[in-house]
Each structure stands twice: as structure tokens, then as C-alpha cells.
Amino acid sequence: MMPTDGHSIVDTLKVRDGRDVEEVVRAAIANEQPLEIIGHGTKRTIGQPMATNAVLDVSALNAVSSYEPNELIITAQSGAPLADVQSLIDSKNQQFAFEPIDTSKLLGVYGNGTIGGMIGAGLAGPRRIRAGGARDHLLGAHAVSGFGDGFKTGGKVVKNVTGYDLCKLLTGSWGTLAVMTEVTLKVMPKPESERTLVLSGLDDLTANRAMTTALGSPFDVSGAAHLPNSAFRPATGALAEFAAQGRAVTLLRLEGIAASVADRAGSLVKALASFGTVEMLQDAASAAIWSAIRDVEPFAASGALGAWPVWRIVCPPASGGALGQVLARETGGDMIYDWGGGLIWAALPPKPDALAALVRQRVEAAGGHGSLIRASEETRRNVDVFHPQPSGIAALSERVRHSFDPKVILNRGRMVRGAPA
Amino acid sequence: MAIMMPAADQAVLGRRGEIVAALRAIVPGEGVIDSAAEMLAYESDGLTAYRQPPMVVVLPDTTEQVSQVLKYCFEHGIKVVPRGSGTSLSGGALPLVDGVLLGLGKFKRIREIDFDNRVVVTEPGVTNLAISQAVAHAGFYYAPDPSSQIACSIGGNVAENSGGVHCLKYGMTTNNVLGCEIVLMSGEILRIGGKAAENSGYDLMGIITGSEGLLGVITEITVRILQKPETARALMVGFAEVEAAGECVARIIGAGIIPGGMEMMDKPAIHAAEAFVHAGYPLDVEALLIIELDGPSVEVDELIKRVEAIAQGCGSTTCQISTSEAERNLFWAGRKAAFPAVGRISPDYLCMDGTIPRGALPKALARIRDLSAKYDLRVANVFHAGDGNLHPLILYDANKPGEIERAEAFGADILRACVEFGGVLTGEHGVGIEKRDLMDEMFSEADLNQQQRLKCAFDAQGLLNPGKVFPTLHRCAELGRMHVHAGQLAFPDLPRF
């Protein structure tokens, strides 16, 4: 069986509608031919190398089926380009509140992928702490299971408890449960203005405390990130000024109507007085900073750390500072903290195993989990890309996967190393 | 009982004495209830039209006991119905004649309050309101606020994915829970998630939330808590036409404003509520909107002005703005008491719970009026207008022959209309037994099969809360059968690369 991870030449089937998807999956079952599911293929290098030998390409399912700004929903086919959908909702002053990550700079690929890829990966940006993740914004989906059967789940309204919420499972399942053909997403109004408060020179532990103070305040902080001083940072992009000044920065974002943002900024400055003086960034400058953090630009594939493996670590937010500090000290790596300490992007000096055992031990001790978001195919073949689960959860997760795709037709082996091939 | 439940297992009923004894060995003392008189308290939940005493009630107080009870029932093929506070409005906790009713009422302890990580770790029997009360001294609260929050348990909230008045802005239960300890039907104890923002692997917490007690029994929950907004104020706006009120809701959302709550009542609901609580509601309007804005004072003041202008632009006939906390609470008093208020003007009522796209409100209300005439039953409408969740209250008298059947048929027609208008059967009360037989109005056989296959991953013998949610029960082996398609990966007409 030929792996597709190295992008060898394999059959690529470009489906035109949900019926095509059913036909392709049914034929794949009959022929025991596992399929790799792709939209634009921008996140193909995330996950274990797969044991698939044909590609099901949904990029032609690219229509926006309906967009109703007053209902706060949009329905789009899974292959709709994310950039196009985002500019459409932006024209009505709306957005996906969970700030989907654009992984193209981090992974060194072109393009921002599709709506289906956004949900399949489920990677949310800085506003996750306030607005929730991709899982919280997927309202309904049409998909084709590994039985070759089309099914729908959820609906086209924001409030719905009819039947099991399969949307939650589809989000972040990396195409291993079903091939989504159409999704309905919640959209939210864009804030009228934003401001970022900048604290300087804090060590990781103190910064973590400052972020905890801010997030525990009533001032509705919608972003809390910390960039330690680092010898590695490229002096380009929105974060260049900080890098050039050679100082750690702790960033706190406030969004909303202008009067409210100004009022809360004043209150938050007072609440943070013990952490030093605060500088303020407004609107466009503030927005640029947060998109650079969202997209993990300091670890861009084209930058100084481009060859380093990158971990995405999620942990209880108040323990992030201590965890990151230990990881930096023990590995010589570089950390970026988001979600008030609850998300750590860790770039580690290259090692064949990406220091997986060490990272996992430290992360588990802090009550978190880590996935290896960027690494060579060789490395990903030899380490668990997604955090290994305790045996009971692993067994249940496998039964859940089996309930959608018993023949392991869809993205075989992407989420679990050593899965049946 | 108008709804068919799974056939009673006579062999299990024949072993009742033995089963009671086995449960007593696991849960000593008064934790096992088998007398008919004492079991009466458990014979129904908030959907009181349906009653069925269970075979036996067991009230464990440790996770280990829950595990042993489930393991025993699993090994002996005995059905189990989990129950929290019993406030379900869809019959989710309706007992089975041959089933063990597993009550979580003794799980009443908050285990940990962690302000730094902004979470509370709690046992499932703690009430929704008690969580907010436990963190109020530090300015925090738990956001989802179902109207039964004084009584309903957080475990039940997770099972039903409960909503509330404020979920337009702050989300439902599923958006506010991070982890749980769950016991599977086999007795296996699993911990899912924790204090981190998201779990690794498949989102099992997400699928358990709202699964109506069919996938497992929750014994611990980690919820997110938020800081209370600095202030909240409400507007009470009357309209001469329902359409104008609907337009006002759409324009507020369209202007980028997400109020903390946005509720609508129609004339019969306004009159019933006013007669009950004397909140000063205008009686000459066809629709009343209560719109609450929360946040810093400067923000609330600004948004109040904007909303007032929008309402005037939509032809509002009355508009009052709260100037004190007492006045804000008075505006809400009538809305929050709407159900008991309706209970005063009718011997019985059925509360429906469909969701529609907001834009479909006028035609949905017109349809409800027509159906009211057809079935010759009165109806009062309260409505979470911000998120399109309708609560028509159908008034009937159970003592008049045939009225409950007419009321149920009326309710089913309303829910069919919700689906027809692009909405769903239930926005926050759950399917339970109440909407079970309407599921195929919304879902195809393939849709329901996939949901039931998932159930098989958790409970392959179908012993946990059977007869709820799904209109037709299938064996897992049957659901897992593959279509066998002869054929090759040919597709001459598909583009290839």
C-alpha cells in the first residue's frame, strides 16, 4: 500500500456532490481501499503519516449555500475556501468568533484551506478563551460516514438539542469519522474597536499571574498572550518591534464598542498596576499583533526556527507559565503562550523524536496534553502526533471511530499511531 | 400512557427480590428504595403527564457504588434510568417498570473551586444555582441559567444540554463544561477532559453533553465560571403587531448587538403574567420584548440608546428602560413566572420547545394561531426571541375527555411546523419521550442510524435509558452491518488528477 504522505502519485477523485462522495466511499469499502480526504490539502502534514492509497478531493464542493447575517448563520459546502467565506462575512461586519488559525505560515504551505479543513482540524485562535472553539460554532453538518451513508446532524439554528450533537465529534476529528459535505456555522458581529494592553519585561511565571488577574477580572478580556524574550525571534512582521527591543511582552486584548473598550482599558490598567507600566496599542496595530500570535508567526516555516518541530500544548491556564518555563529550560526551546497560559506553542531544537517523551511527561504532570503540529514525516512516523490517551478513553474513542467507519476507510491511521493498516 | 415504552422483561421482574438484595449489598442503608409508597416520588419528572413507578430506586453516594450498580445491571441485563433532580420537561427521567432508577441526588458536594483557572469541580447533584452562589463572593457565576435553576441539578443540565435566558450571549451547557467523570453501563469509570480549554482526541465531552442519559452516568463535572458583568439593564418594549417585534429582534442582531437576553411574549402570555405578578406590563400590545444588556455601565448606556432607537424605528408603542436593579428584576418577574402564571388560568398546560430561524417568527405564530382554532385550545407564547427558541404553552384540562390527546396533537403539529420552517424539534428541553416519535420528522433513517451506532459505542446492549430519544430501537449488530457493494473504484465520469 502506497502512503500518500510523501505526496506520491495516487488516484485523486474530485467529487462534485454528496452523492459522488457516497459512491466513492462505497466503492472504497468494496475494494478495501482507504481514502485520504482533502480540501486544499493545506494541513496534510498534520497527523500520523496515513495508510491510504487514494485521495477523495472535496475542493469542488465550494459553494456558499446560504448566508443570513440577521440569523447569525452561514451554510457552506465543505470545500468552500475559508478566505472567500471570511471575506464574505467580513463584508457584513461579521466573523468566526473563534478566530480559526491560518496554518500556512507555520507549515510553510500556500493558502488558508477550506471550511471543511477548518472544522476537521478545529484549531481556534486567541479568542477561544472568551468565544469558545470551532466546536462551539458548528451548528449542523451533512456528511458521509465510512458506511458510505450520507447523514445530517444538528440544524441551521443556534439553539438545538435534538439528538446527539455529532457536530462536536466531527470538529477536530481530522477526517477520520466522516467526510463532511456541507456545514452550518455560527457567525458573530465583529467588534467595533479593539485595544491591546502591553506589559513589558515579565518572566513567564509573573506573566502567567498577570494574565490570570486580567482573565479573572470583569473587564471581558478577549486575548491574553505572552511572548518571552527570545534569541530566536525574527525581526519581521507585526511582532518585529517587540523582537527588536529584546524584551518579553504580555498582551491583553479588549474588544467592543469604543467607549466600553476605553473604560475597561482604564480599569484593567489599574488592576494590573503591580505588574508595571502598560502601553496601549489601538485597532489596526492591535489586530495585526493578534493575527501574528494566532498564526504562530514567530515559528514560521520560513523563519529562524523553521526547521524546528512545533508542539501545541493545551493545559490548565494558570499552570502554563511554570510548564513552559520547565520545557524551555530542559529542551532549549522557545515558547509562545496564548489563552492566558492555557495554550503553549513550543518550538524545540530538532531531535529525531521531537523530545516527545520529555514533553509528554511534563505536560501530563501539569494536567495538559500536547500534539506535535509540525514535524518531518520521519518523526511523525515514529512518535505519537496526538497525545496518547489513557487506555479506557483510547478504547472508547476507538469504538466511537468504529461506529462511524468500521472498515477504517477514512484517513486511516491519521490520529492514532499503529492503528490498523 | 400514550407512548410505547420498551416491553418489560418479565424474567427481570420475576427476579426483583434478588435484584433489590444485590443492590442493598452495594448501597447499604436507606440508599435502596423498594416500597411502592416511597417510590411514588420518582414516578415522573417535570413532564407530569407521564408516570411510571420504577422496579426499584437506588441512591448511591460514591462513584464506586455507581460503578458497581451499573456493573451488576450490565451483567444481569437490567435496564437503568439515571435521574438528577427530576425537573426534565421531556420525560428524560421517566422510569421503566422493569428498570432500576439510579438517582444522583446524594452527589451534593462541590469538590473544588479554582478561581485561577476559572473552574468549579462539582458533583452532579449540586443545583445549577448553588454553583453560582458558591463563587458569588468573588464576583463569579456559572452562566447557563435554565428557569428551573433553583432545583435542577448540574448533572441533569449536562445530560440535557440546558440553556436559559442568557444563552444567546453566554452559550448553553455544552459551551460551559470542560470535563467530567463518567461511568459507562459496563461499570467502567472514565475521566474526560479537565481544567484545560479543550480535550485531546475526539470531543467526548461534547457528545456526552446533551445525550439525555443514554451514554453514561456522570459523577463529577468541571464547569467554567465567569466574572459577573459590572451592570445589567433592561428595556421593556411593546408592539402593536408581532411582526414589528420580530423585525426589531432582527434589526438589533443585524446592528451587531448581542444582548444578554432577548425575550418575547404574546398577548395571552402578557396578560397571564401581569395578572400574576403585576410587573406593570402594557396590556394593550400584541407583543412585548424584554431586552437585557450587560457589561460596563458606559457600554450598557450606549447600547440602551441604540436599541431604543431601533425599537422606535420598528414602530414600538411603549418603551420602558430600567433605572434600578429592582426595576430590572420587576421586568423579568413576569417573564420568569410565565409558566406558573399560565398555570393559574388553565388547569393544565403543555410547554413546547421548538426552535425556528428568527425570521420565521411571524409565520410560525400565524400557524400556531390557526392550529389553536383547529384544535379549539388556547395557547400563550413565550419565546427566547434572540435565538429563535419558541415556548408555546398549550392550555388544556386533563379532566375533560380527549383534551390531553388534542393538546398533544396540537403540540406535535407546532413542532412539525418548526421543522418545516427550517428549525428543529427542541431547543433546550430535550427529546426524551415527549418528542421521540417526532424524530423522523427531522431526521432520516440514515441520520438516526448513525446516532444509534454511536450509542452502541457506549452501551452495546442498550440498557441505559432505553425508550428515550429514538423512535425505533435497533440491535447494534444490525446497525453495524455494512452495505456490500460490488464494484470497483472506476467512476468514469469523475475528474481525476
Q: CA distances (Å), A261 to each of A258, A264, B280, B306, in order?
A: 5, 5, 35, 17
pLDDT in tens, B298-323: 999 999 999 999 999 999 999 999 99
For A208, the closest chain B residue by CA position comes to: B116
- In this structure, the answer to whether residues B246 and B330 fall within a common structural domain is yes
Reply yes or no on whether the pLDDT at A287 is more than 50. Answer: yes
| Residues in chain B closer than 8 A to A389 (CB atoms) | 200-201
C-alpha cell at A9: 502519485
Name chain A contacts of B486, Cβ cutoff 8 Å. Answer: 30
Question: Residues of A with CB below 8 A from B457's CB?
Answer: 396, 399-400, 402-403
Taking contacts as CB-CB distances below 8 angstroms, the residues of chain A near B115 are: 216
**pLDDT level of residue A4 (50, 70, 90 thresholds):** very low
- Residue B101 CA to residue B483 CA, distance in Å, equals 38
Q: Which residue does chain B place closest to A147, by CA atoms? A: B482
Maximal C-alpha separation, chain A: 67
Out of A156, A171, A216, closest to residue B118 by CB: A216
State pLDDT tens for residues B197-252.
Answer: 999 999 999 999 999 999 999 999 999 999 999 999 999 999 999 889 999 998 99
**What confidence tier does B494 reach under pLDDT thresholds 50, 70, 90?**
low
Task: Find the length of chain A.
Answer: 421
> A190 vs B116: CB contact, 8 Å cut-off?
no
Least confident of A49-53, A177-181, A202-206, A383-387: A49-53
Residue closest to A220 by CA, chosen among B260, B21, B122: B260
Q: What is the pLDDT of residue A323?
A: 98
ipTM: 0.96
Q: What whole-number distance in Å separates Cα of residue B359 and Cα of residue B357? A: 5
Q: How far apart are CA A183 and CA A164, in angstroms?
A: 16
Q: Does the pLDDT of residue A7 top 50, yes or no?
A: no
- DSSP one-letter string for B411-445: HHHHHHHHHHTT-BS-SSS--TTTTGGGHHHH--H
Last residue of a domain, one of B174, B209, B227: B227
CATH value at residue B213:
3.30.465.10
What's the pLDDT tens digit per position in B335-359?
988 888 988 999 999 999 999 998 8
Whether B123 and B182 have beta carbons less than 8 Å apart is answered as: no
| A178-186 and A73-77 beta bridge pairing | antiparallel
pLDDT in tens, A318-332: 999 999 999 999 999
Secondary structure (3-state) at A74: strand
| CATH classification at residue B395 | 3.30.70.2740
Which structural domain, as residue segments, surrounds residue B350? 346-430
Last residue of a domain, one of B378, B407, B430: B430
Residue in A with minimal Cα distance to B438: A162
Same domain, B59 and B137: no
Q: Is residue B221 located within the same domain as residue B116?
A: yes
Exposure class string for A242-270: b at 16+ Cβ within 10 A, else e: bbeeeebbbbbbbbbbbbbbbbbbebbbe
If you classify domain A299-382 with CATH, what class do you get? Answer: alpha beta
pTM of structure: 0.96
Stronger pLDDT, B202 or B496, i.e. the higher one: B202
Instruction: List the CATH number of the domain containing B239.
Output: 3.30.70.3450
Q: How confident is the model at residue B254 (pLDDT cuts 50, 70, 90)?
A: confident
- Residues A248-259: pLDDT tens digits? 999 999 999 999
Query: Which of A161, A386, A396 is facing B210, going by the closest CB pair?
Result: A161
The C-alpha atoms of residue A189 and residue A181 are separated, in whole angstroms, by 26
Shared domain check, B180 and B205: yes
Give me the number of domains chain B comprises. 4
Write down the pLDDT at residue B497. Answer: 54
The DSSP code for A367 is: T
Are B284 and B277 spatial neighbours (Cβ–Cβ below 8 Å)?
no
Q: Are residues B290 and B304 in the same domain?
A: yes
**CA nearest to A191 within chain B:** B256
Domains A64-189 and A193-295 belong to one CATH topology: no
Helix (H) or strand (E) holding B408: helix B403-420
Is the CB of A132 inside 8 Å of chain B's CB atoms? yes
d(CA A259, CA B371): 48
**Per-residue confidence (pLDDT) for residue B309, from 0 to 100:** 98
Name every residue whose Cβ is closer than 8 Å to that of residue B261 and which is 6 or more positions away in sequence.
B165, B166, B168, B169, B290, B291, B292, B386
Least confident of A386-400, B80-94, B335-349: B335-349
Is the per-residue pLDDT at B179 higher than 90?
Answer: yes
Residues B82 and B175 in one domain: no
Q: Looking at the DSSP assignment, which residues form a beta bridge with residue A119?
A: none
> What integer best gives the mean pLDDT of chain B?
94
Whether B289 and B369 share a structural domain:
no
> Which chain B positions have a beta carbon within 8 Å of A403's beta carbon?
450, 453-454, 456-457, 480
Q: What is the pLDDT of residues A92-105, one digit of tens each?
A: 999 999 999 999 99
Share of chain B above pLDDT 70, in %: 97
Contact call for B207 and A30, based on CB within 8 A? no
Q: What is the mean pLDDT of chain A?
A: 94
Same domain, B85 and B116: no
Residues B391 and B301 in one domain: no
In whole angstroms, what is the distance from residue B405 CA to residue A229 CA?
A: 71
Beta carbons of B387 and A158 less than 8 Å apart: yes
Across B473-487, average pLDDT: 77
Average of pLDDT values for B136-148? 95
What was the pLDDT predicted at B490?
53
Residue B137 lies in a domain: yes
Q: What are phi and psi of A275, to 5 degrees?
A: -100, 5
Asked if the Cβ–Cβ distance from A151 to B256 is below 8 Å, we say no
HSE value, Cβ hemisphere, 13 Å, CA-based, for A162: 37
Q: Assess A144–B contact: CB distance below 8 Å, yes or no.
A: no
| Distances from the Cα of A225 to the Cα of A126, A133, A334, angstroms | 8, 17, 14
Residue B493: band (very low, low, confident or very high) from pLDDT cuts 50, 70, 90: low
Given CA atoms B83, B85, B89, B95 in this order, what sign does their dihedral have? positive
Of B196, B211, B358, the CB nearest to A164: B211
Distance CA A292, CA B135 (A): 36
By C-alpha distance, the chain B residue nearest A13 is: B496
Minimum distance, in Å, between the CA of residue B87 and any CA atom of chain A: 16
CATH code of A193-295, in short, is 3.30.70.2190
Indicate if B133 and B178 belong to the same structural domain.
yes
Q: Are B115 and A216 inside 8 Å of each other by CB?
A: yes
Domain ranges of chain A: 64-189, 193-295, 299-382
Contacts of A163 in chain B (CB under 8 A): 431, 439, 442-443, 447-448, 451, 469
Split at pLDDT 50, 70, 90, the class of B75 is very high
- Cell 447499604 identifies what position? B28
- Confidence band (pLDDT; 50, 70, 90) for B2? low
Flag whether residue A90 sits within 8 Å of chain B, measured between CB atoms: no
The CATH number given to whatever domain includes residue B80 is: 3.30.43.10
Angstroms from B482 CA to nearest CA on chain A: 6
Under an 8 A CB cutoff, do A165 and B210 touch? Answer: yes
Residues 21-40 of chain A whose Cβ lies under 8 A from any Cβ of chain B? 23-24, 26-31, 33
CA B241 to CA B248: how far, in whole Å? 11
Q: Is the pLDDT of residue A130 over 70?
A: yes
Write out chain B residues lying below 8 Å of A146, CB-based: none
pLDDT at A5: 46
Could you tell me which CATH number the domain at A64-189 has?
Answer: 3.30.465.10
Do B338 and B356 share a structural domain?
A: no
CB B196 to CB A315 under 8 A? yes
pLDDT band with cut points at 50, 70 and 90 for residue A25: very high
How far is the C-alpha of B326 from the C-alpha of B478, rounded, in Å? Answer: 59
DSSP class of B191: E
Please say which residue of B430, B458, B492 terminates a domain: B430
Q: How many CB atoms lie within 10 A of CB A376?
A: 14
